[in-house]
Copies of this chain bind each other. A is one copy, B any other.
Amino acid sequence: MAHFDLDTFLRTQQARVESLLLERADRLAPSGAPPRLVEAMRYSLLAGGKRLRPVLCLTFADTVARASLVSPVSGDAACALEYVHTYSLVHDDLPAMDDDDFRRGRPTNHKVYGEAMAILAGDALLTEAFVLLGDGPEPVRGALCRELAVASGASGMVGGQVLDTAEDRPAVLDYLVRMHRLKTGALIRAACRMGALAGGGDAEALVRAQLYGDAVGLAFQIADDVLDVTATREQLGKPAGADAEAGRHTFPAVVGLDASRRMAEEQVALAVEAVRPLEGEDGPLAALARYVVERKS
């Protein structure tokens, strides 16, 4: 049996996401939004990146529906996830937060447009995610709004960012796992669940999407921490070793590099297990789970 060709699959799906994003970003200016705001939003939204969340969403939708969906619902869900992810990066990079000058190899949003505009561009990206989700008559859109909002809010992504920047955060594994389950895990899980919802999945598909998303989210964050130790600046598009320098608590710092890698592998195995009944052996979701820990940037 031919091995699943992840490289081709990933390139195809990423190109699909770029085109879905561009289509929606092109609607911002005619809607009456100020041109400078639209420019700042597009600067960060269309800056490339792995597009992991929308790719997971579309792959789940296709897998569950057993067809490559052309439904506007899955496209809107995929793009809404990337809008929210992008807003979180723009706000995290602000001087009052992580104070980062570079992101994906380019100056961060506030370095180009100023701090006020970066705050507003982030606010607008978050809000426009819900414009996308609300933009149609399909009844599933209400559930998608709720899924995205819960994952991104006070008990999801924003809550995780608060835990990550708390001055009295303990350098212990429990706290680190809890923080990342909120900060990055919640949105990755939502990406999988929203894909399953958009694809018309039943309750079992939703549970499998959740199990897979939880495992892939944690594996992703561990791999990120490992890459910060082992990768080069060129591979990352930002200075390597930045976590240690900023005094951030990471998996390698708390449990060591080898144990971190083992934990990531365990999570990948859980994820692969969870989706086997949905896609059979050696499908795209299993390949994506492996990619998350094997990527070089």
A residues whose Cβ falls under 8 Å from a Cβ of B: 28, 31-34, 36-38, 41, 87, 91, 94, 96-97, 114-117, 119-120, 122-124, 126-131, 133-135, 139, 141-143, 145-150, 152-156, 158-159, 161-163, 165-166, 182
Contacts and interface: CB of A to CB of B under 8 A. Distances in A.
A119 B94 contact: yes
B127 A149 contact: yes
Given A133-B145, A166-B34, A154 B94 contact: no
Given A28-B154, A91-B123, A131-B150, 12 more contacts: A32-B155, A34-B163, A37-B162, A41-B154, A94-B119, A123-B126, A124-B153, A127-B156, A130-B130, A134-B149, A139-B139, A142-B142
A162 B36 contact: yes
Given A37-B159, A116-B96, A117-B162, A127 B154 contact: yes
| Oligomer copy total | 2
B154 A128 contact: yes
Given A36-B166, A116-B96, A153 B134 contact: no
B161 A120 contact: yes
B127 A126 contact: yes
A33 B134 contact: no
Contacts of A31: 154-155
Contact of A33 (B143, B147, B154): B154
Nearest to A38: B154
24 contacts: A31-B155, A32-B159, A32-B182, A37-B158, A41-B154, A87-B123, A91-B123, A96-B115, A117-B162, A120-B161, A124-B154, A124-B158, A127-B154, A128-B154, A130-B130, A130-B148, A131-B149, A131-B150, A134-B142, A134-B146, A139-B142, A141-B142, A142-B145, A145-B145
Nearest to A153: B127
A287 to B, nearest CB: 32
A161 to B, nearest CB: 6
A197 to B, nearest CB: 12
Contacts of A126: 123, 126-127
